Amino acid sequence: MTLNATHDPSRQSWVESANTATCDFPIQNLPFGVFEDDGRGRIGVAIGDQILDVAAAIETESLELEGTVACALCSETLNQFMGLGSSAWHAARVGIGDLLSADAARQDRLLRPMGDMTMRLPAAIGDYTDFYAARHHATNVGRMFRPDGEPLMPNWLHLPVGYHGRASSVVVSGTEIRRPNGQLKPEDGPPIHGPCKLLDHELEFGAFTGPANPMGNAIAIAEAMNHLFGVVILNDWSARDIQKWEYQPLGPFNAKNFASSISPWVVTMEALAPYRSMGPARQADDPPLLDYLTPTPGSADAIDVTAEVTLCSAAMRESGIEPMRISRGSLSDLSWSFAQMLAHHTSTGCPMRPGDLLGSGTVSGPEKDARGCLLELTWRGTEPIELPDGSQRKFLMDGDELTINAWCERQGAARVGFGSCTGKILPAL
């Protein structure tokens, strides 16, 4: 994707808070989300510490867009807008950027203070699929669960492995997470039913799909990026003890269906254009890719996003201790791109609908502090993390609050942030 005037790093907004160097939401970002207004969803765009009320901008003719685009942006979710495709997304981005530019007249009446607003899920998510695209994560997990075999399963290097997740349990950042009950298998006894003891997070990113493909029609890899609207932070909460007992032969089920949190602001693929990269090269002895998964030569389908995970226990909060950083990862460590995931997902003719969610899988890099879940960070609980309140963590305890922040930075481009994705653990019922 080519860069255009909306990416110009020197561009400023009349919303002063958007012009600071550390702001997640400068005028070059313009992510879309849905805030609550009088019990209804309303589409907004984040700018500095404010939300632009997009429907109000359209109603007052401060923002003039073609009829179908304007209509989609006045609905309660982003699904319709996501379905319109890249020329509509670009037109809206240009119009909103011009409206918020420092060259334009101030229109404070179109703003809502972000801190006062309740955010909703950006889309009604019809389907959610979670992949397993980071080689270091798949290798680490393979080493722990199958110490005697090859860490990577034979299919992993040939296709982006995934499972169909549970869209109904995707929640927006800030939603409290209830520790699940489930069937557990103690080492030396029969299965029991009770609270999960090995509750984990997974640092991931999610991509929202754009225009639908009719059932039976695959989305070709060369077209895949045009079918992806944007990216959010995703925390795929995981019950490792439930997972260990249930996962063979059909994969995760109850271990993954109680909650997955996403950040409220969808950073569009166009906003991410300055941060596209080639991703890690395939290794010399890796098998060649089949044609339907082979990217167009030179296409930079990876995205350089850095993420940081922090943990804050109840005792830390009570003593005023800052959250502790437990890991830092990069989306560019993924071996399979979102474009490859989408091409593979639809290669059977599986129809995607606007607002479906594709999870990247746990983002883990080569370094120990780049491991994206506690299972890997504590090596299945054998190397606990020391918290500043004097306690240890192998897995998450009740009262723990886990937060993921993410951002893109590159010389010659404006910093673009994702905001945060957070959730606090409540005790099991």
Q: Point out which residues bind Mn ion (CB under 5 A).
A: 130, 202, 236
CA distance 139 to 151: 5
- In the complex, the smallest distance separating the C-beta of residue 319 from Mn ion, rounded to whole angstroms, is 32
CA torsion 354→355→359→360, rounded to 10°?
60
CA-CA distances (angstroms) from residue 355 to 85, 212, 338, 383? Answer: 12, 9, 15, 39
Residues 187 and 40: their CA atoms lie apart, in Å, by 49
Of 232, 412, 225, 377, which Cα lies nearest the Cα of 305? 232
Query: CA 257 from chain center: how many Å?
Result: 17
Cβ closest to Mn ion, residue 53 vs residue 236: 236
CB of 313 to Mn ion, least distance (A): 24
Q: Minimum distance from CB of 234 to Mn ion (Å)?
A: 8
Q: One-letter amino acid identity for 61?
A: E
Task: Tell me the sheet residues that pair with 171.
Answer: 261
Min dist. Cβ of residue 231 to Mn ion (A): 15
Nearer to Mn ion, 130 or 246 (CB): 130
Please state the closest distance from residue 307 (CB atom) to Mn ion, in A.
14
Q: Is the previous residue joined to 288 through a cis bond, with omega within 30 degrees of 0? A: no
**CA distances (Å), origin 310, targets 209, 295, 372:** 28, 35, 11
Tokens linked to 236: 């795929």
**Cβ distance to Mn ion smaller for residue 200 or 304:** 200
Least distance (Å) from Mn ion to the CB of residue 239? 12
Whose Cβ is closer to Mn ion: residue 236's or residue 400's? 236
Point out the catalytic residue in the list 137, 201, 344, 345.
137
Active site residue 137: yes
| CA distances (Å), origin 267, targets 62, 208, 237 | 23, 10, 22
Number of Cβ within 10 Å of residue 38's Cβ equals: 5
In angstroms, the Cα distances linking 192 to 145, 181, 188, 196 are 21, 10, 12, 11
Contact 77, 95 (CB under 8 A): no
Q: Kindly tell me which of 7 and 179 has the beta carbon lying closer to Mn ion.
A: 179
Instruction: Rank residues 370 and 414 by Cβ distance to Mn ion and give the closer one.
Output: 370
CB 266 within 8 A of CB 234: no
Q: How far apart are CA 9 and CA 14, in angstroms?
A: 15
Q: Which is nearer to Mn ion, 100 or 396 (CB)?
A: 396
Measured from the CB of residue 134, what is the shortest distance to Mn ion in angstroms?
10
Q: Could you write out the three-class secondary structure of 269-332? A: CCCCHHHEECCCCCCCCCCCCCHHHCCCCCCCCEECCEEEEEEECHHHHHCCCCCEEEEEEEHH
CA of 165: how far to CAs of 131, 169, 170, in Å?
Answer: 10, 9, 9
> Smallest distance from the beta carbon of 213 to Mn ion, in angstroms?
24
Nearer to Mn ion, 80 or 403 (CB): 403
Burial 378-405 (b: 16+ CB within 10 A, else e): bbbeeeeeebeeeeebbbbbebbbbbbb
Active site residues: 137
